Amino acid sequence: MRNITDFFAETIGIALLLSCSSSSSKAVEEKGGLLWEISGNGLEQSSYLFGTAHGGSFIAATYILDSIPSFEEAFSSVTQFIGESYSSSGNQNLMLMDSTYAELLDEEDLAILDTVMLKYLNRSSDKIKIKPSFLTRLISEKKRFILVQEKMRAKLYAEKYLDLRDIDELVYVSEEPMDITLQKRAIKKGYDIIGLDNRINFQFDTTDDSLTLTQQAEHMISIFKNNQLDELIRVSLKLPLIDSLNDAYYEQDLDQIEHISIKLYSDSLNYGDIQRELLFERNFKWMEHITSLIREQPSFIAVGVRHLPGENGLIDLLRKEGHTVVPL
């Protein structure tokens, strides 16, 4: 009988990640790596740039972080944590509405919503005031995580990797985004916390302004009916480029991540224009603040890994400002 570490190494491409952790630093440098040191150009102390994985259920943050020998030393050597965003009451208020779902939906649809909410969020619709667009996203991410676990459990049952009593020991899948894990670590260390999107007044909102709250709510219910949400998520989990991107992240291969990212934002079907805006326009605006922030305090910058590579990526933009940026 095989243990769970063997299972995950085989089924979600972790074996290469493990080899990276024990290989020479030269091998990591050839592929770019996830962790970079920023020095020079008048900095009294180095800062660091790290590419995170976010956007749904993913490999547990600690498993990735533990595979990078220099990570803890770098993270412990700074006094400031810089992430993409930092939650505040102002940001949270954008998600809230004054209406109740009893006002937006008829009794039949309200019952459907309550069934879904009780199953995935353990609360009823009268206990929540989140706008339908955000609520749909929240439930989708919860469902996505469950489907990933179900897929792994099926593999475990079929191949009898574990005793049934150990079947819930899926320690390498995390429901918490890596960015949040890192932010919590920084808070515990007493670091100053900076949100780059807060600095540039950027708020990612998928809400269609042309839709009323009632229309948003009706659209949400329509995808809950007949398990349409399940099918949408299952399709998204099978996208070849996304699978390849995950594998490249496990291997800490920044060159391959850039290659895949170019395909993604060049594809109109993958909302390429929006992706380019979310990546590069934010990079340019972030840089207006990053340079001064790392001069003020040694910082650990943790943003989505796709923001790092390429001529408009943060690595090259920092180099153009005169900094030395090297992989660790």
Burial class (CB in 10 A: 0-12, 13-18, 19+), 296: exposed
Ordered per-residue pLDDT tens for the chain, 328 residues? 334 334 333 333 333 333 333 333 333 444 579 999 999 999 999 999 999 987 544 555 666 788 888 999 999 999 999 999 876 544 555 678 889 999 999 999 999 999 999 988 899 998 888 889 889 888 887 887 777 767 666 655 665 544 444 444 444 556 777 888 899 999 999 999 999 999 998 876 555 567 889 999 998 999 888 777 877 777 766 667 777 887 788 788 999 999 988 888 777 665 667 777 888 999 999 999 999 999 999 999 999 999 999 999 999 999 999 999 999 9
pTM exceeds 0.75, yes or no: no
Query: What confidence score (pLDDT) does residue 165 get?
Result: 46
User: How far apart are the C-alpha atoms of 204 and 279, rounded to whole Å?
Assistant: 12
Helix or strand run (H / E) with residue 83: strand 80-83
Cα–Cα distances (Å) from 130 to 34, 61, 97, 99, 138, in that order, read 35, 27, 6, 9, 10
What sign for the dihedral angle of Cα 248, 254, 260, 261? positive
- Helix ranges (H only) for 160-239 are 178-188, 196-199, 213-224, 228-237
Query: What confidence score (pLDDT) does residue 247 get?
Result: 77
Cα–Cα distances (Å) from 136 to 56, 83, 139, 145, in that order, read 14, 25, 5, 14
CA angle 123, 126, 130 (to 5 degrees): 80
Contact 298, 75 (CB under 8 A): no
Radius of gyration of the chain (CA): 21
Helix or strand run (H / E) with residue 27: helix 25-31
